[in-house]
Chains A and B, each alone.
Chain A
Amino acid sequence: MTTEPEPRPSDPPGTSEATEPDASSPSATRDEATGPAQSPVAAPRPAVRWKAAVALTLAAGFGLVAMSWPLLAAPGGALTETSSGPWLFALLLPLVTAVVLLQLTDGGLDARAVAMLGVLSAVVAAVRPFGAGAAGVETVFFLLILAGRVFGPGFGFILGCTGLFASALLTGGVGPWLPYQMFAAAFVALGAGLLPRTPETGTGRTTELAILAVYAAFSSLLYGLLLNLSFWPFAITHGNLAYVPGGGFGENLSRLLAYSLATSLGWDIGRAITTVALVLLTGPLLMRVMRRAARRANWV
């Protein structure tokens, strides 16, 4: 065992002058199977849960608009008359993400959740470069999906944000695309946590794996399409494949499909295949490892 990665005092944005170390008190109501898990939101004040859920729902709606505004903008609407749409949303998305994270962590994440988040984000950041060659972030998704499944939707959302943020910081890949990536990846992990539960039996585990594989394929394709959509008005401005401001839904949809077909469909399909394959191949092992960690985190 190596030394503890103790955050140095100069690193965190604010070193907390210790208040009450109540993070270490084990809460009695934890679900043994899924550990701390269940939700980092759980800590001291369960009453905030509905607020986090409301914030997440609103943010999902906002994110959908932020990504698909080229399709949704009605002719004559305010957005079609300016070229500032992508910039506006790229600036507002971090704000919305911060608001949601604040609601999710309201009342304090306990130390276990923070440490687990940190380590899993490091794993995400470490495996991400393996997929950077061809198809974007496809080596990250299986981890996010499995972690979201094991640790629950709230944890999954935060992990999607912190994991992609840490990897961007490590590789110098911070840019206007980062908010979109973080947001979409966070919802991929969140969705995995919301999938129906399966019994702890042999067939139950097989069903779980099958559900996760289907979800992996679906979410990777959707992620590709949405990210494409968010970058489309930037990437090309003339010609048959370009976004037409105020062109209406039908016109722009056919152009978008042609653009996706021409540019990224191969990548998106590659991402879906690799994610499904990785989920199927590594799922049983990784979920066993993470569930063990979740059980141990109960501070016995």
Chain B
Amino acid sequence: MPTPADTTIRPRTALKAARHTTHPVAWWGWALLLATAAGRTANPWLLLLIVAVAGLVVTWCRGSEPWSGAYRVFLVIGLSAIAVRMAFYIVFGGSDGPTVLFSLPSATLPEWAAGFRLGGDVTAEGALAAAYDGLRLATLLVCVGAANALASPRRLLRSVPAALYEVSVAVVVALSVAPQLVESVGRVRRARALRGNTSRTPANLMRTVVSPVLHDALDRSLALAAAMASRGYGRSAGIPVPARRATSAALLIGLIGLCAGAYALLSAATPAPLAWTTVACSAAVSAFGIAFASKRVPHTRYRPDRFGWRDWAIVASGAAAVVGTVLSGILEPAALWPATNPLAVPDLPMWAAGGILLATAPALLAPSSRGGTP
């Protein structure tokens, strides 16, 4: 957490560093690859290592923006996921073993209510399996939290395909209007207090606070629309009809293919390779449609966000973690999914651990946007 002392010097350094900071897509790629690695194992050492690596990179590379505290929030959510998982195990049971820790009074639900047993013996083996499972979910959440803490949402929004220009403009408008709403509520309430209205009944609040704030916001949106229109907003011209038709066709074909692929994945009648190929091809066609539509949109970019070698290196370091887990899965599969019955201290798979340690590379590659030295 920043101390008050360094808030005074931050603005200049942050501005300077903003030109070189990592692309948000690179952070998301890195975090999702790390999460993929976490999804491929239940080994507690590896999972804790992933949490540690994510935490290290976050403390090293995060800025001082409002969202930078997300890692801690997600850490708390992850811990509660473990707690919930344990509570599930204790109440609803799970895998069993010989080492009984304690017994709860048990009841078996009747057959029409799924015939589950509630309560009963709580074993060390079962509790350990539940803890590993909860830890895996918590690690996934922590990886997402790391991405939230590291990637700037506004810059992420700039990576939205150009074809979705209007929609992303709407989101940008939303992001800048939301703080004004808070200010608007304050203004309306002050005016209300000055008029001597201190009633706290919901009906009165609705009429004298909510309604004016909403009217204000919607009127403001009309003013904004007029401003946008007068500055030449709008882009529908200049796209030839054949191009438009081709885009539409590609998008619809891709969508139909995705539906067919999803159906093929579900049914047992279709061979798996065919189903996966259908899904992959139609996803590619849809992506092509979006890319094609983006190309046709006449627009310029102000200070384009380049995806440089650093960004590629960060994604590659995340991929190293996945490669490590895959190698371990081939060479030492038992260590990736440690047995909990009989109880044993799990081994540390070397390949996977090495790959995950490589994922700390961003701590060295990405300059801290706080301007401090790492």
Contacts and interface: CB of A to CB of B under 8 A. Distances in A.
Interface of A: 1-2, 4-24, 43-45, 48, 51, 54-55, 58-59, 61-62, 65-66, 69, 72-79, 81, 83, 87-88, 92, 95-96, 98-103, 105-126, 158, 161-163, 165-166, 169-170, 172-176, 234-242, 254-255, 257-258, 262, 281-282, 285-286, 289-290, 292-293, 296-297
A51 B249 CA distance: 9
A105 to B, nearest CB: 5
A87 B298 contact: no
B13 to A, nearest CB: 19
Given A87-B36, A114-B166, 4 more contacts: A69-B266, A98-B290, A107-B236, A297-B222
Given A62-B259, A74-B268, A174-B153, A115 B228 contact: yes
A22 B248 contact: no
Contact of A77 (B206, B225, B265): B265
B258 A239 contact: no
Interface of B: 36, 39, 66-67, 69-70, 73, 81, 85, 88-89, 91-95, 113-114, 116-117, 129-130, 133, 137, 140-141, 144, 147-149, 153-154, 156-178, 180-184, 202, 206-207, 210-211, 214-238, 244, 247-248, 251-252, 254-256, 258-259, 262-268, 270-272, 275-276, 279, 283, 286-287, 289-290, 293, 297-303
Contact of B174 (A17, A163, A237): A163
B237 A22 contact: yes
A170 B175 contact: yes
A172 B93 contact: no
Given A101-B167, A111-B225, A122 B255 contact: no
B215 to A, nearest CB: 6
B137 A234 contact: yes
Tell me the dominant secondary structure on chain B's binding face: helix
B114 A14 contact: no
Contacts of B230: 21, 24
Given A98-B164, A105-B167, A5 B298 contact: no
Interface centre among B93, B147, B170, B228 (most CB of A within 10 A): B170
Contact of A114 (B85, B140, B173): B173
A246 to B, nearest CB: 9
Contact of A175 (B148, B234, B259): B148
Contacts of B67: 172
Contact of A78 (B182, B264, B283): B264
A115 B88 contact: no
Nearest to A18: B232
Contacts of A115: 170, 173, 221-222, 224-225, 228
A224 B181 CA distance: 29
Contacts of A6: 224, 227
A1 B220 contact: yes
6 contacts: A59-B255, A77-B265, A118-B177, A162-B170, A175-B141, A235-B137
A163 B262 CA distance: 27
Contacts of A54: 252
A272 B232 CA distance: 43
B178 A238 contact: no
Given A11-B154, A14-B162, A21 B232 contact: yes
Contacts of B255: 55, 58-59, 62, 96, 99-100
Contacts of A43: 236
Contacts of A18: 231-234
A185 to B, nearest CB: 14
Given A62-B259, A235-B137, A74 B298 contact: no
B232 A161 contact: no
Given A13-B165, A16-B233, A96-B258, A125 B147 contact: no
Contacts of A102: 163-164, 247, 251, 289-290, 293
A229 B259 CA distance: 19
A173 B176 contact: no
A176 B233 contact: no
Contact of B173 (A5, A81, A96): A5
A83 B147 CA distance: 23
A25 to B, nearest CB: 9
Nearest to A282: B206
